[in-house]
Structure 1
Amino acid sequence: MTTTDALDAAFSGIGCWLLQPDGRSKPLSVDRWRLPADADDLALFLDTAPDERTLDIGCGPGRLAAALTARGVPSLGIDISGEAVRQARDRGAHAVQGDVFTSLMDAGRWDRALLADGNIGIGGDPVRLLHRVTELMRPGGRAVVEVAQHGVGVVTEKLRLKVGQDLTPGFHWSVVGADAIGEVADEAGLDLEEIRVSGERRAAVLRSRRSV
């Protein structure tokens, strides 16, 4: 079973478990991603610079992309799960199935990129991911990146997903704390502008230094 297969199953309502290197496991809860954008989503991702053309990376079922579309903001969600993309489109979002590291429409022209719900972890290399994000945005574009609390630093683990008796191959995933995002961003060619806090969540706003 591939990781994409497991995510498709999870978004279809089939039980999916996240297995950690130390043997612990927890259910992959996708239900909250299917809810409408909440007050924290609005404060962190949607209520600032509302007219910027926005790329929602790892959009899942599209709650952010759909909210942007409903506001008339040009936006695109991207996710590796075809089932998640189908649900995002059903909500009215513009979304495509794909990998952020492969060819993507309007690359180099997006005003803003969102990495919500811990999606800074994609690929297990936050510097590489943010460098890719700068390539997708226009010069001076901004990335809004959800981060963990202060003191976490950067933690990368090899995880697996389990659906029934089927296991995916291991994949690397990173968690970046608010204390570490500035250094990670600097290595990728972005400047930390601010860290927004809403409820128990926080997001770093990063400005690309790319000039051409």
Structure 2
Amino acid sequence: MRPAPPATPFDDLLSGEALEVHHPTGSVQLLDPARWRAGPDPTDTDVVRRCTGPTLDLGCGPGRLVRALRDHGVVAWGVDGSAVAVQMCRRRGAPVLHRDVFAPLPLEGCWQHVLLLDGNIGIGGDPDLLLARAAALLATGGTLLVETDPDPGISWTGSLRFPAATDPSSTRWARVGIRALRDRAARHGLTVRDRRPARPGRGDIVEMARSRSPVVVC
């Protein structure tokens, strides 16, 4: 049996209130679990309509997008390292894997769409590693949908500091604006195909297609 990921600061945040994260850049990032727990908004609905085949939501949280995709008739699974997120997904009827996104996952190289929304391009604090991981999950011609930072020029990596965390520097994170994302995408065989504004106060939803992949029997 695969061991479950260790507890994360997101466990408490998911069932709590919004939290402001202060960055060394001087900016403030709002983490709002109430929005993650809510139903899909117009931006989510647009993302769902653009997913026409098997979809994997990395860092799916409480599973609002996975549930919306399933309701739309799309095969979808979430992946999250938070035990609380996994419990919320299952209560919602959203299929989910309790794993680190860098751990082995089913059907690698066969997913038609992979999602990195709600700032999840920051997972692990290494956007290049995460983009390479997402690209490896996609089938040739599949698409990766990423929500960028509201600041188009930002390219920041560091640690999120949760006030209640035992080790305030334990959660590596990143923020990536549209300009940095375009530059990084090309390194991993990803071509920007579309860009649309996200919800107010957020960045853009960028759709990238995988132009090449190893031979995988799906």
What CA RMSD, in Å, does the superposition of the two structures yield over aligned residues?
2.5
Structure 1 pair 24/129, CA: closer, same or farther in 2 (3 Å)? closer
> Which structure is higher in strand share?
1
In the TM superposition, residue 83 of structure 1 has moved relative to its aligned partner by 0.8
State the TM-score, normalized to the length of structure 1: 0.87
Do the aligned residues in 1 keep the contact of 2:21 with 2:162 (CA within 8 Å)? yes
SS at match of 2:178: coil
> Residue 9 of structure 2 aligns with which residue?
6
> Residue 72 of structure 1 aligns with which residue?
73
Structure 1 pair 134/14, CA: closer, same or farther in 2 (3 Å)? same
Letter in 2 for 1:8: D
SS at match of 1:162: coil
What is the distance in 1 between the residues matched to 2:85 and 2:42? 22
What is the distance in 2 between the residues matched to 1:180 and 1:102? 26
SS at match of 1:73: coil
What is the distance in 2 between the residues matched to 1:191 and 1:153? 20
Structure 1 pair 199/16, CA: closer, same or farther in 2 (3 Å)? closer
Letter in 2 for 1:34: R
Q: Find 1:35's aligned residue among 26, 34, 38.
A: 38
Structure 1 spans left out of the alignment, 5+ residues? none
Letter in 2 for 1:196: R
What is the distance in 2 between the residues matched to 1:77 and 1:195? 23
Structure 1 pair 19/199, CA: closer, same or farther in 2 (3 Å)? closer
What is the distance in 1 between the residues matched to 2:166 and 2:20? 10
SS at match of 1:65: helix
Flag the structure with more relative contact order, 1 or 2, with Cα contacts below 8 A and sequence separation at least 6.
1
Structure 1 pair 24/142, CA: closer, same or farther in 2 (3 Å)? closer
- Identity score, percent: 36
Do the aligned residues in 1 keep the contact of 2:192 with 2:208 (CA within 8 Å)? yes
What is the distance in 2 between the residues matched to 1:131 and 1:53? 19
Do the aligned residues in 1 keep the contact of 2:161 with 2:169 (CA within 8 Å)? yes
